[in-house]
Amino acid sequence: MTNQASMETPTTMPPAQAPALPVASIVHRDARCVVVDKPAGLSTHRGWDATDDALLQRVRDAVNAYVFPIHRLDRGASGLVLFALDAPAARALSLAWPDADKRYLAITRGHPPAHLLIDHPIPRAPGEDRVDARTEIWLRDRFGRYALVEARLHTGRLHQIRRHLKHISCPLIGDVRYGKGEHNRIFRTQHNLHRLALHCTHLTIAHPDGGELSVSSPLPADLAAAIASCHQHYPAVV
């Protein structure tokens, strides 16, 4: 069942807090789970930054029920995030998560190959040993020195897409940790993009009640506008 609802931004903020973030839309809800479209700039849950606002609390308040996060997106990224609505569903979805089809779109500095499986170990978490990590990517568009890349995660490590794109010398635009400051500034000043250029566009996973749950999210307006601006500014790449 699909429910095109929205979660309201909290009405009270500390005086020094930035303007309210965009609402996070519910793109799917049924008796066992809910999928939301997270805006950039919002943490999946508390503890990843200094603010009290987080996606988990917004979803909980919107559905008026306890929710179980199955995965997370970086604060700077946007797109689909899956929550379970009961403990057995959370266990089932967590077990199914490694085999789920998770797709992302990213803007990179540099052009990767048309298709590539990046098989490069990275730490599971800061300070830990490197572990197996695989990301499959496809080149979808090129504009000047930049590219639109589709990525599919085959493992789930911290900052995996960001680290793997850096590994092949195609860092993400807007990435202050693994990217290039010069190109991040170009996108801020010339293409009005002030965020990590990464969006979770598609998710297919086995549903706890049988069958598949499959949801999609279009590129948000700021990423689409940045790509259009690039096409205007840079000559076509043949």
Catalytic residue (choose from 74, 101, 129, 209): 74
74 catalytic per annotation? yes
| Cα–Cα distance for residue pair 169/190, rounded to 1 Å | 22
Other beta carbons within 10 angstroms of residue 85's beta carbon come to 19
What is the rounded CA–CA span in Å between residue 129 and residue 137? 25
Residues forming beta bridges with residue 122, ordered by sequence position: 131
User: 210 near 190, Cβ under 8 Å?
Assistant: no
Residue 84 structure tokens:
């379970």
Three-state DSSP state, 53? coil
What gap in Å lies between CA 222 and CA 72, rounded to an integer? 21
**Helices and strands counted in the chain (H then E):** 5, 13
| The two structure tokens encoding residue 196 | 């990590």
Are the beta carbons of 109 and 179 closer than 8 angstroms? Answer: yes
Torsion 174-180-182-186 (CA) sign: negative
Q: From residue 158, how far is each of 28, 74, 82, 128, 206 by CA, in Å?
A: 26, 9, 17, 11, 23
Catalytic residue numbers read: 74
